[in-house]
Structures are given as structure tokens and as C-alpha cells.
Amino acid sequence: MKHDKYTVGSLFAGIGGFCRAFKNEGFNVVWANEMDSYAAQTYRHNYPETRLIEKSVEELSVRADELQPVDILTAGFPCQSFSLAGNKLGFKDPRGRLFFEIIRLLKEFGDQKPKILVLENVKNLIYHDNKNTIYTIEEEIKRAGYWFRVPLDQKGNLISNRSNAVVLNTKEHTDIPQNRERLFMIAFSQQHFKMNAFKFPQTIENLNDVRDYLDLQNKLDEEYYFDEESKYGKMFANKMAEGNEDSVYLLRRAYVRENKSAATFTLTANMGEGGHNVPVIKDDWGIRKLTPVECARLQGFKDTSFSFPKDMPKGKQYKQIGNAVTVDLVQRLAAECRRNLIEQGERQ
């Protein structure tokens, strides 16, 4: 059996974190959708073989855009309206309502709808609006014809051994040292599966050191270094003098935090909005920010299979990486998707 016969479509594709993960696992990504022009440039630069439809998901149409039916549909839909750091407006925010565009497209596929849905969002989605948001998502996915449940205990936490949604942390489920918690939701089509038997990955013990992902052999461009006599430079220098010089540091409003677990803090889209949002380290030449390439490695993008277009602004690079999923983590989900497709005998 050739696993590359299994096909994938990707909504909110960004720079292709989901796509790279499924490609690594032997799937054929046949189309993707992304509306941000800068992210689309990066996507085309890395996946010229995949059809990219550059438009809003609200304008996307199965029929008009001739979307090929796929085995798996991935969607890391916008999280700002559900995040603790956002406006928390949820479905009252136009970005939050984009979830319903996923449901619309599923219905447009009719009896050719994807066999498996792989969705991603922030952890707080579980608790948003007194849990009404996650219950709405559950009902909409069920009505679209999928096995999907998100049982919660009395404290409002997911009952992980019974749930089709779970919070996974990059540093606990891969060897990549990034503290990144995200909610992953997996739904199986009732038309193709008798039940949802998806098994989320178990935690792993081996964690690489964050400095293994960094370029420490040579001095970088001056733009990455802080003037240690400046306000922020002094703040970092003072904190590093108190802590471990090999740790990763981050400025949060008026104070500097140290990550003491040989990992980095969560890489966010806000990295593209200013230097104080980018993780900081000390190398042999001074105190500096991580580069976009280093951040990409900490999201699982390998130098050998990923790069930014030559003229992509640094701020856009940081934002795109922060918006991405961790490739290695999603690849574990992709492997489990493949196992279920094979065992169900959908491709003989």
C-alpha cells in the first residue's frame, strides 16, 4: 500500500506546518488555503508542488474553486478571540466565527467530505465563555456527520481518556524544547468509521537542549544584539547575572523572566511586533534575540526542507513562525491518522 495516496487539504495553512508534518508522514497535500499574502509567499516558496488558493476562507467554495475531495482536512483556525491574551469575544469576533466556515465547507463536500478532521487552537478554547464555545464546536462537528466528543469533568477539564480533543505540549510530546500548549481536536467521519478510535500520543522523556537549535559558533548581525547600556539591555544583563547564562529569557512588560528548563518560552505571533516579544539568550558576543531561523527550528522546521523567501521582512518571519504549529508534534498525529485509515481499509 502506498501511503502517498492518502490526500490532505489544509485551511488556514499559514507557512505549512500541518502540510510539512503530513508530507513527512507520506501524505499527499493536494491543496491549501491561506489569505495572508506574506505567509502565502513563504508557503509557495517551500511547497511549489501544492496548489495554494490565496483568498479568505469565507470566499472559498468547494464547487467554484474545484476543491478536490481529500481524506484529511487540517485547520488551525484563528485563536485571537479565544486566547487569554486576546479580546475573548469568541464567536462575536469575526475571526472567531471563521470556525463555522470549516463546517460550511464540510457540508459543501457532501458525501465526499473528508474522512478525518484535524483542528488546532489555543488551550483556553476549552474554558472560553463558560465552556459554551467548546460545546458549540462539538455539536457543529457532530451535525456535520462526524464522531467527536469532548467530555469534561466537574472542574471543567477534559477527560483525556474519553475525549477526541486534548491539550498537547511540544516539550512533553516531542524532543523539541519549546513550552507550547495547544488544543488538538480529531473528528472521524461517521460515513467511513464505526467510531472514533484515535489515540493521542503519549509523553516522551527525552528533551533536547534549546542551545542545540541555536547558531552559537559565530557572531550574528548587529541587529540581533542589545546594547547592554540601554534600558532593556541592562534589564537582561541584570537578570542573567542572577540566573543561568545558558537559559532563555523573555521580557514580559516590566520584568524579565528566565526559563529554567533548558527550553524556550512559547513562540508567538507577537514576536513580529517588537523585539521584547522575542526570546533572548547570551552568546559569546553579547545578549541577543533568537533569529527567525532559530525560531523556525524550534517549531520543527528543518533547515534542509524550509526557508524564507529572500526578501521576506524579519517581522513577518517571526509572526509566521509564531502562528505555525510544531511540525514534529503534528507528525505524530499524522501517523495515527494513517494508522486508522489503513486499519479501516479505506484504501485497498
**What structural domains and CATH numbers belong to the chain?**
3-207+321-344 (3.40.50.150), 216-290 (no CATH)
pTM: 0.93
Q: Taking all residues of the chain, what is their mean pLDDT, rounded to a whole number? A: 91
E strands present in the chain: 7-11, 28-33, 51-53, 72-75, 116-122, 146-147, 165-169, 181-189, 248-252, 255-259, 280-283, 286-289
What Cα–Cα distance (Å) separates residue 36 from each residue in 40, 41, 57, 70, 91?
6, 9, 11, 23, 21
Q: What is the pLDDT of residue 347?
A: 40
Q: Record the cell numbers describing residue 310, joined without a space.
A: 529572500
Residues known to be catalytic: 79
What is the tens place of the pLDDT at every residue in 120-132? 998 888 887 778 8
B/e letters for 140-173, b = 16+ CB within 10 Å, e = fewer, are bbeebbbbbebeeeeeeebeeeebbbbbbbbbbb
Report the percent of the chain where pLDDT is more than 90.
77
Residue pLDDT, tens place only, 121-177: 988 888 877 788 889 999 999 999 999 998 887 777 777 778 999 999 999 999 999
Pair 42, 83: CB distance under 8 Å: no
The amino acid present at 153, given as its one-letter code, is D
Task: Give the pLDDT of residue 155.
Answer: 74
Q: What is the mean pLDDT of residues 15-41?
A: 97
